[in-house]
Structure formats: C-alpha cells, structure tokens
A and B are shown apart, each in its own frame.
Chain A
Amino acid sequence: MKLSNKDIVSFKELTKEDVRNIFSEAEKFEPIGRGEEKSDLLNGKILGMLFFEPSTRTRLSFKSAVQRLGGSSIGFSRPDVSSVAKGETLADTIRTVENYCDAIVLRHPQMGSAKLAAEVSKVPIINAGDGAGHHPTQTLLDLYTIKKNFGEIKGLDIGLVGDLKYGRTVHSLAYAASRFENKLYLISPPGLEMPEEIVNDLQTKGRKVQESSNVEKVLPELDVLYVTRIQKERFSDPSEYNKVKDSYKIDLDLLKSAKQNLTLLHPLPRVDEIAPEVDSSKHARYFDQVFSGVVVRMALLSILM
C-alpha cells in the first residue's frame, strides 16, 4: 500500500483514499496495539525520532507504535543534547539522521520545518508538530476516534470549544472535518475566536459554520464536542481568565442537555476544562483518542517504512 506522498507534512496533503487506507490498516492493528497479538512487521526497521520541543503523548505514542510492530527507535527528546546545540541546521541534522533510519518523526518549533525536512530527506518525514503549523497525526487520530464511534465521519455536527485562535489542533481539525461535509460549531470566548481567514476559507468552500460564545446553547445540537484548553497566559487580566474558564467548563450538569450519543474529545493534556466526574460518563472518549493515536501511527509507519 502506498500513500499519495512520501511524507506526512500536513493533513490536507492526504487524499480521502489515503485516509481510508490509513484507517483500515489502523483497525487491523488494534489487537496488536492492545498487546493481545504480536507483530514483527517492522522487524529490523529503525524510526528516527527528532523532538526539538517537549512532547509526552506524541513521542511515547510513536515509540509504542514502532515497538508494537517489532521495530526500534533512535533519537532525542531535547535539542540541547543534540548537535543543534552546537549550531547545526535542521537540514544538516536530517541529512545525517536519514542514514541511520528508515523514517523520521520530527517535532520542531518553527512553522514549515517539516516541509523543509521533507525536501532534503531521502526517507519519509512525519510531522509531529511544526510550531503553530500542522500536527497531521493528531488530526488523523481525532477523526479515527470519531469514525470508531459513529461508523462514519460524514454529516456529523461537530463543536470545537475553547481557545480556537491559537490551537493548531482545532485549526487542522476544522479543515479536516469540513472535508467530510460536517457542520462546524465554533465556540470560544471573545478574543479567542477561530482566525477569520480559516472561517472564510471554510465558508468559501460552502461548508456550514456557526460561531457562538455559548457552549450551553449549542450543546444539544452536537454529535461531537472537541474541547481544548484555554491558556491562562493568553489573558492580561487574571480575573478575565477565571470568568472565561468557568463558563467553558464541561461537567455532568451541562451534559444533561446533550444528545445520548454525544462524543466528548480532548487532545490532552487537560487542566480543568473537563470535570473529572465526566471521565466515567458514556460521553467521555478522550482516553480512547490516546489509543487511536497508537494504532493510527502504527498504520502510518507500516505504510511508510
């Protein structure tokens, strides 16, 4: 099986067929992902993992994915222990590390870094976050979780709530979900709205988008509610932050008005935007997303390596 590109730089470079293929592979890998079955599919293969920025979930998830398939990984999780500390460019790091491995997972603080890496690399590059740019495997695992819950992604009413201005996760997901003809509800406090250019882009493509600042009001319409953290550092006045934070908190009381099959997602880590009491409700699917992350990455590695 092949994807339309050698590299995974952004979600939008994947065709619908690519996404279908990744998801069908991911599903097959579920027993291996759970440790119920063993695999030596990537036996002898090495994954390079270059993390120029801290990451827990993404890094461990890729590591778990390659090891579950019988492969191994090399790399670093802090730039200060690499040649970058000596002033080496990313391009040179890539041209060096490509000789040690069969694919490279890259997280880097600068936007466009994964595209540059893909241009210079002989081996596939998987973008694990390029600053405020893209994080395609997060988008894939979000959609995979939605698909697992509803059987298909098409035609759902999806709400994105929280900091929609700065979050790359919600930007990517908004574009991705709109490709599957979903209606989007964008719910954010004033000042943290989805960037106008993205809303315009979606509307120009004929997608249904509704903006709101009140989560309670739109909740009964939703099939999926994707919650993101509102970051304290975005507010100059701490009292403003406290006001906003509480009005976007998801708890059991709020969820009383939700549809029976509402799926609640969160890219994690969460702070207090979803009350712990919600974790045991039928709506909570955010820890399923973590597992989706492993199998979706297994699928990608099995195709690319």
Chain B
Amino acid sequence: MIKMGKEELRVSKIKAGTVIDHIPSGRALIVLEILGIDPETKDTVSVLMNVPSGRYGEKDIVKIEGRELEEEEVNQIALVAPKATINVIKNYNVVDKGVVELPDFIEGVVDCSNPGCITNSTEPATSKFNIVSKTPLQLRCTYCERITEEDELFKQFSE
C-alpha cells in the first residue's frame, strides 16, 4: 500500500473515516492515546510520522477508518495539536474539513494537575479550565486556580 513516488500518497486513501492532519511532529502517538487507540484496537489505523510538510517542516498524520470523532475528542486533540485539521471522509472524498480550534475554556477534557483540587476527589465536580496561554500551553483550573503546564498535560495522555 505504501507508495514512495513524490507525486503519490504514502498511504492509500481511506474509504470512510477521519484523517487528522498537521499534527506536530512526534505527537501522533499522543493523539492515538487520546482516541483510545491501543494495541487491542480493531480499527484500521494508519500513522505517519515526520512527514515533510510545506507549512511546518515536518508533521504527523493519523488516519482512522470507519470512525468519526466526538467533540470532546476534537477538543483534546486541540490541546496537543492546536493546528491540526480534521477531515471527515465518505466514499473516498473529503465531505467535511475543519481546523481544530483551542477554545478559551474547556470542561471535562483533562484533569487538574493539583492532587489537592476538589476536582480530583470523589465529588461530582468536572474539571474546568481557562486557557491562559496557547504557546506554551497553560491551563488554569477554575476551582483551585493552579496552572497545569503542557508537559503535565502530555503526561496525562500517556498514562
């Protein structure tokens, strides 16, 4: 399936599903973690890493057959790949193309890094964050007000 010609695709088109493009180089595996794709998966998944890209130098791409993403999954991807594009494929054609956008506020997507925060207890409190910086990524918990840094966030996805 892999074609190496300059004008050709590295991985063939998928019939139906989602292509997540423009993932920063090296973060495709975190995207897989976010989407719950592990060695047990039955989905057909293609992962391309360090692909030359005109815009970003190098990028990663993830293609998943037969699956469309939920809004919460897109928000989570926005945290690690703020310039990613999500292409919805039907019958080999792109029927919907969207750029992920990191919102100013997120709810329930990630955990607060402060173990003493009420959202990390048994209370019915969903984590809520204001995005205080997009690069580097910094989230401020609306409950305990602690900042969760980018590396703490990535650690959560790979746990």
Seen from chain A, the residues whose Cβ lies within 8 Å of a Cβ on chain B are 89-91, 108-113, 115-116, 130-133, 197
Q: In the complex where A89-B124, A90-B123, A116-B125 touch, is A111 in contact with B117 (Cβ < 8 A)?
A: yes
Please give, as numbers and ranges, the residues of chain B lying within 8 Å of A113 by CB-CB distance.
118, 123
Check B144 for interface membership: any CB of A closer than 8 A. Answer: yes
Please give, as numbers and ranges, the residues of chain A lying within 8 Å of B125 by CB-CB distance.
91, 112, 116
Check B156 for interface membership: any CB of A closer than 8 A. Answer: no
**13 pairs, A vs B, C-beta closer than 8 Å:** A91-B125, A108-B118, A110-B121, A111-B117, A111-B143, A111-B146, A112-B125, A112-B141, A112-B145, A113-B123, A115-B142, A116-B123, A132-B116
A110 touches B118 (CB 8 A): yes
Would you give the shortest CB distance from A269 to chain B, in whole angstroms?
Answer: 23
Q: In the complex where A91-B123, A110-B117 touch, is A116 in contact with B147 (Cβ < 8 A)?
A: no
Closest to B141 in A: A112
Would you give the shortest CB distance from B136 to chain A, in whole angstroms?
Answer: 14
Check B12 for interface membership: any CB of A closer than 8 A. Answer: no
Q: How far is the CA of A89 from the CA of B122 in the complex (A)?
A: 7
Q: How far is the CA of A113 from the CA of B117 in the complex (A)?
A: 8
B147 touches A131 (CB 8 A): no
A133 touches B144 (CB 8 A): yes
Closest to A131 in B: B116
Q: Is the interface of B mostly helix, strand, loop or mixed?
A: loop
Which residues 92-109 in B have Cβ within 8 Å of A in the complex? none
A112 touches B124 (CB 8 A): no
Please give, as numbers and ranges, the residues of chain A lying within 8 Å of B141 by CB-CB distance.
112
Q: Is the interface of A mostly helix, strand, loop or mixed?
A: mixed
Q: How far is the CA of A115 from the CA of B116 in the complex (A)?
A: 14
Which residues 107-130 in B have Cβ within 8 Å of A in the complex? 114, 116-119, 121-125
Closest to A132 in B: B116
Size of the chain B interface, CB-CB below 8 angstroms: 17
B123 touches A89 (CB 8 A): yes
Which residues 132-152 in B have Cβ within 8 Å of A in the complex? 141-147
Please give, as numbers and ranges, the residues of chain A lying within 8 Å of B142 by CB-CB distance.
112, 115
Please give, as numbers and ranges, the residues of chain A lying within 8 Å of B121 by CB-CB distance.
110
Please give, as numbers and ranges, the residues of chain B lying within 8 Å of A115 by CB-CB distance.
118, 142-143
Please give, as numbers and ranges, the residues of chain A lying within 8 Å of B119 by CB-CB distance.
112
B147 touches A197 (CB 8 A): yes
B143 touches A112 (CB 8 A): yes
B116 touches A116 (CB 8 A): no
Would you give the shortest CB distance from A8 to chain B, in whole angstroms?
Answer: 16
Would you give the shortest CB distance from A127 to chain B, in whole angstroms?
Answer: 12
Please give, as numbers and ranges, the residues of chain B lying within 8 Å of A130 by CB-CB distance.
118
Q: Contact check: which of B116, B124, B146 meets A110 at CB < 8 Å?
A: B116
Q: How far is the CA of A112 from the CA of B122 in the complex (A)?
A: 13
A-B residue pairs, 8 tightest by C-beta: A112-B143, A111-B144, A112-B118, A112-B144, A110-B118, A113-B118, A116-B125, A116-B118
Q: How far is the CA of A109 from the CA of B117 in the complex (A)?
A: 9
Closest to B124 in A: A91
Q: How far is the CA of A131 from the CA of B116 in the complex (A)?
A: 8
Q: How far is the CA of A9 from the CA of B144 in the complex (A)?
A: 11
Would you give the shortest CB distance from A304 to chain B, in whole angstroms?
Answer: 22
Please give, as numbers and ranges, the residues of chain B lying within 8 Å of A108 by CB-CB distance.
118
Q: How far is the CA of A112 from the CA of B146 in the complex (A)?
A: 10
**11 additional contacts, CB 8 Å, given A110-B117, A111-B146, A130-B118?**
A89-B122, A89-B123, A108-B118, A109-B116, A110-B121, A111-B114, A111-B117, A111-B144, A112-B117, A112-B143, A131-B144
